[in-house]
Amino acid sequence: MKAKGEYVLRFGDSALVLAQRTAAWVAHAPVMEEDVALANVALDLFGQARLWLDYAGEIEAEGRDADRLVFHRDASAYRNVLLVEQPNGNFADTMVRGFFYDAWAALAYGRLTGSNDERIAAVAAKSAKETAYHLRRSEDWLVRLGDGTELSHERAQCAVDELWRFTGELFLGDEVDAEMVACGIGFDPQALREPWLQRVSAALATATLVKPGDGWMQRGGKQGRHSEALGYLLAEMQVLPRSYPEAVW
């Protein structure tokens, strides 16, 4: 039960942190349509996060709902992958980060729709549908930026190179993953690596971008060891409910 709560928390936290990052673009996007699109992607991710985190709270059974989990945990209690907490940077950084995540999430949710935990299967099915749409968009942007102007190509390549080291963690299993695989709830993260690489390599090639070589991969987000970037994100996101715990709309 503890492992399942931890497992669900990881999906919820990754969706949440990426939602918060993405939402920060609102009113700053390069064109109106992008502003709307980014807001909508963020909304989907917030919605997914709530579905996961409500369930995580129910499994934990200590009276914490999604809001409680979101606003009253410190960075070390967060279980998102490191990739999603990386700063927004420029538009290419954001789109490449989104593409790497979407390509992974599409595969992960596809697997989870077969989970023998009905609730997990249902949330995954809902999330898979939305992720498919996000993925087509982030992939389009990757191609447009990579195969675009000299400047957009350079920035997209730089984003790929910078963010590549955070992708290894997506396919790294630990004892929680193993337990979830053993009881038919979860999947083996390693099994997603090949299909992910296939899709990402193909998209990078179309975008005339170079896939980075194998190198050091950062890890630890799923176990609560985060980069300093997450602390700033949480500080901004949590300040109101932390300062005024009884505040309501």
Partner 1 sequence: MRRPSTSALRAYAQDDTKGTALRAYAQDDTKGGALRAYAQDDTKGTALCAYAQDDTKGTALRAYAHDDTKGGALRAYAQDETKGTLRSRDAIANVWALLDEVMDPELPAVSITDLGIVREVRSDDDELVVALTPTYSGCPATEVIERDVLEALRSHGIERVRIERRLAPLWTTDWITPRGRARLEENGIAPPAAGIGNTLVILSVAPERREVEGQPPCPRCASQATTELSRFGSTPCKALYRCDACREPFDYVKPH
CA–CA distance, 176 with 90 (Å, rounded to integer): 35
| CB contact at 8 A, 160 and 209 | yes
Report, in Å, the least distance between residue 203 CB and partner 1: 7
| CB contact at 8 A, 231 and 181 | no
Taking residues 52 to 91 in sequence order and writing x for each that binds partner 1 by CB under 8 A, - otherwise, the string is: ----------------------------------------
CA–CA distance, 148 with 167 (Å, rounded to integer): 24
Residue 47 interacting with partner 1 (CB under 8 A): yes
CA–CA distance, 244 with 26 (Å, rounded to integer): 25
Q: Is 28 exposed, middle or buried (0-12, 13-18, 19+ CB in 10 A)?
A: exposed
Q: 182 CB contacts (<8 Å, ≥6 apart)?
A: none
The one segment of 58-66, 132-140, 230-238, 240-248 that binds partner 1 by CB under 8 A: 132-140
Among 2, 28, 72, 129, binds partner 1 (CB under 8 A): 129
Residue 115 interacting with partner 1 (CB under 8 A): no
Number of helices (H) and strands (E), helices first, in the chain?
10, 0
Taking residues 177 to 206 in sequence order and writing x for each that binds partner 1 by CB under 8 A, - otherwise, the string is: ------------------x--xx--xx---
Among 137, 155, 222, 226, binds partner 1 (CB under 8 A): 137
Among 59, 70, 92, 128, binds partner 1 (CB under 8 A): 128
- Which stretches of the chain bind partner 1, using CB under 8 A? 33, 36-37, 39-48, 50-51, 106-107, 109-110, 113, 118-119, 121-123, 125-133, 135-137, 139-140, 195, 198-199, 202-203
